[in-house]
A and B are shown apart, each in its own frame.
Chain A
Amino acid sequence: MSWDKHDYDHIPGTYVFNGERSSQGYNINKMAFSFNESTNREAFADDMDAYCRKFQLSDEARAAVLEGDFLGLMRLGGNIYYLAKIAIFHGYTVQDAGAQMGGISTEEFKAKLSKNSEGFEQKLTTIGGYFHG
């Protein structure tokens, strides 16, 4: 038994959500999916540890959920859209979780996004035809 290698495995700091990760993280994501129901969110908020056990999370996964360790959850097969449903219990947006995964503050993360976008208006002007509201 062996999982396929992929041509995207080299992309740094990236956890492409393939079969291997989805299989590994199935229970984490299944628990997160249950949070679409508000009654389940209440049950989780009441006793997070017990709720994780109900979904048969590993000790490692349970600890990562309780601590809000999103990089840990990524490594255990969590999918970012499902982790977004967990993040809210830690007062996190997806952006906060992204900052945490990169080891920076949310303000630094936002500054990084702005810096990465710098100069685009000039490119639009060069090409022409863009709306410049």
Chain B
Amino acid sequence: MAKIVGGITTSHIPAIGNAISQGLQQDPYWKRFFDGYKPVKEWLAKVQPDVAIIVANDHGLNFFLDTVPTFAMGAAASYENADEGWGLKTLTGFDGDAPFSWHMIESLVADKFDMTICQEMRVDHGFVVPMTVLWGDHEQWPVKLIPLAVNTVQHPLPTAERCFELGKALRTAIESYDDDTKVVIIGTGGMSHQLQGERAGIIDTEFDIECIEKIIHDPEWFAQLSNTEIMEKAGTEGIETIMWMVMRGALTDKVNVVHKHYHAPISNTGAGVLVLENTSNE
């Protein structure tokens, strides 16, 4: 049966991708941030996942505002990155795993999560930046990608609690798949940042660090926050942290902390990195 080897969280902001492509990892501004990924890469090299389920939001590449799915899962054999309007270099060659996607979709829908099913999906920086920051840039990627898109753009958004419940259903879906696939779940986005309005530029490191600790040890606490409460503290774009809860919901109630890292500011954001593993006795 398929096995969840662990969960990761990471920011997915475009600035990270730009810093990588410009080779700025050792630049004083970036060094502490990127150094915090070394243990993650070592862990990935050790556990060797076959599939990465990346939980991210689309930023106006695959979905326009004409049709906005709350939860959507890729069901394609491959995915392409594309121009988001900035003319940047696009990355290619992301293999998917269609049979596994369809298995998860069937399981999730049976579990009352009515997923939008995407047999074609262009993956924007929300999905691609996590790939490059965790695995480097590849012609042929060492892990298959399955995108799980959460609407964090067009309100009303799903609640943190709903994302947490989706994660629990995702665990059932993964662990019922009759194939020895090793799966890592990557919750992306956040943490505190607001890009818009006169309030642009807020960062609340105290709230971010509290969220990191609670998401590890007491995810029910975060699940009970309303989206308004999160936006008040973390900003309108900081709401993306609800996507970490999909990852967290898919893990055991208690988790082993392999790695935790926080840095701020990175561009406009507080950036949190976690590697969590299931406790084996659950």
Chain B: CB-nearest residue to A98? B200
Interface residues on A, range: 35 or more
**Residue from B39, B202, B209 within 8 A of A123 (CB atoms):** B209
In the complex, B262 has a CB within 8 A of chain A: yes
Interface residues on B, range: 35 or more
Determine if B83 and A98 form an interchain contact, defined as CB atoms under 8 angstroms apart: no
Cα–Cα, bound, A101→B197 (Å): 6
Determine if A130 and B261 form an interchain contact, defined as CB atoms under 8 angstroms apart: yes
In the complex, B158 has a CB within 8 A of chain A: no
Which residues of the partner chain B approach A33 to less than 8 Å between Cβ atoms? 60, 64-65
Determine if A112 and B201 form an interchain contact, defined as CB atoms under 8 angstroms apart: yes
Give residues 106-156 of B contacting A (CB, 8 Å).
153-156
Cα–Cα, bound, A113→B29 (Å): 13
Cα–Cα, bound, A50→B109 (Å): 46
Which residues of the partner chain B approach A51 to less than 8 Å between Cβ atoms? none
Which residues of the partner chain A approach B232 to less than 8 Å between Cβ atoms? 8, 11
Select the stretch in B170-178, B243-251, B265-273 that faces chain A. Answer: B265-273
Determine if A18 and B197 form an interchain contact, defined as CB atoms under 8 angstroms apart: no
Interface string of B60-95 (1 = CB under 8 A from A): 110011000000000000000011111100000000
Which residues of the partner chain B approach A131 to less than 8 Å between Cβ atoms? 35-36, 39, 259-261, 273
Which residues of the partner chain B approach A65 to less than 8 Å between Cβ atoms? none
Which residues of the partner chain A approach B39 to less than 8 Å between Cβ atoms? 131
Cα–Cα, bound, A128→B23 (Å): 31
In the complex, A36 has a CB within 8 A of chain B: yes
Which residues of the partner chain A approach B197 to less than 8 Å between Cβ atoms? 13-15, 71, 74, 101
Cα–Cα, bound, A37→B202 (Å): 32
In the complex, B3 has a CB within 8 A of chain A: no
Determine if B264 and A120 form an interchain contact, defined as CB atoms under 8 angstroms apart: yes
In the complex, A91 has a CB within 8 A of chain B: no
In the complex, A82 has a CB within 8 A of chain B: yes
In the complex, B204 has a CB within 8 A of chain A: yes
Cα–Cα, bound, A131→B263 (Å): 10
Determine if B154 and A17 form an interchain contact, defined as CB atoms under 8 angstroms apart: yes
Which residues of the partner chain B approach A124 to less than 8 Å between Cβ atoms? 209, 262
In the complex, B195 has a CB within 8 A of chain A: yes
Interface string of B27-51 (1 = CB under 8 A from A): 0000110011011000000000000
Q: Is the interface of B mostly helix, strand, loop or mixed?
A: loop
Interface string of A90-115 (1 = CB under 8 A from B): 00001101110111000001001110
Cα–Cα, bound, A120→B226 (Å): 25
Which residues of the partner chain B approach A26 to less than 8 Å between Cβ atoms? 65
Which residues of the partner chain B approach A2 to less than 8 Å between Cβ atoms? none
Which residues of the partner chain B approach A123 to less than 8 Å between Cβ atoms? 205-206, 209
Determine if B262 and A81 form an interchain contact, defined as CB atoms under 8 angstroms apart: no
Determine if B36 and A133 form an interchain contact, defined as CB atoms under 8 angstroms apart: yes
- B132 → chain A, closest Cβ, in Å? 19
Which residues of the partner chain B approach A35 to less than 8 Å between Cβ atoms? 85
Which residues of the partner chain A approach B201 to less than 8 Å between Cβ atoms? 98-99, 102, 109, 112-113, 116
Chain B: CB-nearest residue to A108? B201
Which residues of the partner chain A approach B32 to less than 8 Å between Cβ atoms? 133
Q: List 20 A-B contacts (CB under 8 A).
A: A8-B227, A8-B232, A14-B198, A17-B155, A18-B154, A33-B60, A36-B82, A38-B87, A71-B198, A80-B195, A84-B86, A85-B60, A88-B85, A94-B268, A102-B198, A113-B201, A113-B264, A116-B264, A120-B209, A129-B257
- On A, residues with C-beta under 8 Å from B are 6-8, 11-19, 22, 26, 29-30, 32-33, 35-38, 41, 71, 74, 79-82, 84-85, 88, 94-95, 97-99, 101-103, 109, 112-114, 116-117, 119-120, 123-124, 127, 129-131, 133
